[in-house]
Amino acid sequence: MLQEIIKEGPSVAEALDAALEEMGVQQDAVEYEVLEEGGKRLFGSSRAAVVRVWLKPGVDTVPSELTVETGADAGISEDTEFTDEEIDKVADEAVLVINEIARYFRITPSVEEYEGDEGEVILDIIGDDLGILIGRHGRTLDALQVLVSAITNRRVERRYPVLVDVSGYRYRRRLKLEEIAKRAADRAARQRQPVPLRPMTSFERKVVHMALRNDGRVTTASEGEEPFRQVVVHPR
């Protein structure tokens, strides 16, 4: 059971994601310290971001696919049952957080709300010239996701899954990843040997795991260290 870990990644958000995945907890179950911001050095070289992450008192780790968030933060309710009115409150607060962050970028987008396949609230930020909120390979969007979720949970003093998207970027990426996952599963089952996929972010790896979780021909596992952590599809 990991109580503390130090992780590296191309950005602070990705280093934090890698730590959370290995510890098997959600972000509001931990505290963290940024040891190295990362970024470009002189002459074009780059340095990795480094974070130290540790469990808050009273939090136990369980496998990520079975994680139940308990005892994470004083004042945040452990009740997992939500009424429609409470879910609406979470969504409204998350929209307020998004708009507050958007003002720092000097943009005024609109936010469309959807219900996801597993009941999560999906907030799609719509507007012109929103590439700045996505960033290279979606890294800014991943950081935005972490920030919006953390602030919203703290303000409403409860936890409910909120997924932030920008002009359907995450949705389109999910469809592409699901297609990649299916092709890899077909290949692994046909050739009877493991098929490694390219290194992916924590979000991307989760999409692949979810896409193949009911495929009786294969199993999936995340292997390697950030920033080269990847999903390997194994035949059964």
- Compute the mean pLDDT over every residue in the chain, rounded to the nearest whole number: 81
What pLDDT is stored for residue 74 in this prediction?
Answer: 40
Judged against a pLDDT cut of 60, whether residue 75 lies above it is answered with no
Q: Using an 8 Å Cβ cutoff, are 112 and 124 in contact?
A: yes
What pLDDT is stored for residue 117 in this prediction?
Answer: 78
What pLDDT is stored for residue 63 in this prediction?
Answer: 37
Q: Using an 8 Å Cβ cutoff, are 25 and 59 in contact?
A: yes
> Which among 70-74, 160-164, 189-193 has the top mean pLDDT?
189-193
pLDDT of 169-222, one tens digit each?
Answer: 988 998 999 999 999 999 999 999 999 999 988 778 888 998 998 999 999 988
Count CB atoms within 10 A of the CB of residue 11. Answer: 22
Domain parsing of the chain, residue ranges: 4-66, 84-167, 178-235
Mean pLDDT of 96-100: 93
Judged against a pLDDT cut of 70, whether residue 59 lies above it is answered with no
Judged against a pLDDT cut of 80, whether residue 157 lies above it is answered with yes
Q: Which of 14-18, 70-74, 125-129, 171-175 has the lowest mean pLDDT?
A: 70-74
Mean pLDDT of 53-58: 77
Domain spanning 84-167, CATH class:
alpha beta
Cβ partners under 8 Å of residue 55, min gap 6: 2, 3, 4, 23, 25, 29, 30, 61
Judged against a pLDDT cut of 60, whether residue 77 lies above it is answered with no
Q: Where are the alpha helices (DSSP H) in the chain?
A: 12-23, 84-104, 131-134, 139-156, 169-191, 202-212
The tokens for 95 are 């929209």
Judged against a pLDDT cut of 80, whether residue 69 lies above it is answered with no
What pLDDT is stored for residue 31 in this prediction?
Answer: 84
Judged against a pLDDT cut of 50, whether residue 72 lies above it is answered with no
CA dihedral 80, 119, 142, 138 (to 10 degrees): 170
Q: Which three-class secondary structure state does DSSP give residue 35? A: strand
What pLDDT is stored for residue 24 in this prediction?
Answer: 67
d(CA 30, CA 145): 16
Judged against a pLDDT cut of 50, whether residue 70 lies above it is answered with no
The tokens for 140 are 């800014």
Question: Domain 178-235 is classified in which CATH homologous superfamily?
Answer: R3H-like domain (3.30.1370.50)
pLDDT of 122-147, one tens digit each?
Answer: 999 998 888 889 887 788 888 888 88
Q: Which of 11-25, 98-112, 139-153, 185-199 has the lowest mean pLDDT?
A: 11-25
d(CA 197, CA 234): 11
d(CA 55, CA 7): 14
Q: What angle do CA 35, 37, 42 make, to 5 degrees?
A: 125
d(CA 229, CA 199): 5
What pLDDT is stored for residue 166 in this prediction?
Answer: 94
